[in-house]
Structure 1
């Protein structure tokens, strides 16, 4: 027996497309449903959140998650990925360099610094495997029933490995990862590439267009005007000229 978006606590962004805002870090996870396959966008901050997302996706669709797209390699979007054994996992090319032993330790330490239980962080970091599919340009997924989803390597920007997900439809939906944030100022950590971030937002806008709904990594769904305004703020903040 499946549940509706409203019953599940998920927000329906477009027909067959939803998102939820996970607790603590207000991290977004997305869901795109086709007749033959189910795509999850981002996996949460640990195995517990990953298992929650897996169960909620099954309750919503009656089927298991078949594809997982990881928008970028930060703990709050990535550490739940190992809960999806047997799923086809996609990430921007080069993400595997973050999942070396040293990179896993940095992910674990960052998660603990932000308040994740140390044992849970260690378990999730140890279980991570590199995405099977590395997206260097654009990759089209056919989910069945005429639903095709475009994975686009639009970075670098927020990180060196930023992946966006475009869901064509009426309206079109763009999952932006943390290239766009609504609930606070975009965060630029040591792995950000500030000089390229405004250009990454230009690519997002080119993908979705004026009428798309843009789903940020944190916060409420926004429109093209919001993304454009954030692009200008970031260009000024980082001293990037057109």
Structure 2
């Protein structure tokens, strides 16, 4: 199995976490989507990461679709560790919150911060590279506060974000928060419940490859790999 990804693509991180929870180690192929490589566009004309290529060559593009595909093909074998529960109403809640982080949090926090602080530093100017726009960064830093408050509010009545068991909702939230945490832009003193939840999920074995991540010229924030932050 191959996974085309980028280290700062939160959707790619979600799939890496899911595969880790399933005990699957794919071959990781780093993709710079702004280069629009013809070979990559043949796999997914949308030209976005992640893209999963199965052992038999079957291509599954996009984080949302890959997550559903993994549940449909491997979920039954996970029993009570299944990331998308069997119960209909529980599945709706997991999907709702997974969508919240994959779309709303992404648009308001993780995508603008990664674009301005990471991608633009590495992209040629003709592809949109250049200095970061500080007004965008300030807006994203402000937005993350109410997302942390929402996580804390959910956890006042639940063991995990969508219920009593860990699910795709937790992995999606953690994946998006992790890229922001690498950049040092998570105000962990804003909500103790959210901080405790994140410490719990990033202590899982599936999270270790992400915590070991370093990028040349851009070291992680001091608390990034600290389980007792």
For Structure 1 versus Structure 2, the TM-score category normalised by the shorter chain is 0.3 to 0.5
TM-score with structure 2 setting the length: 0.35
Q: Which structure shows the higher strand fraction?
A: 1
TM-score with structure 1 setting the length: 0.34
Structure with bigger RCO (C-alpha 8 Å, 6+ apart): 2
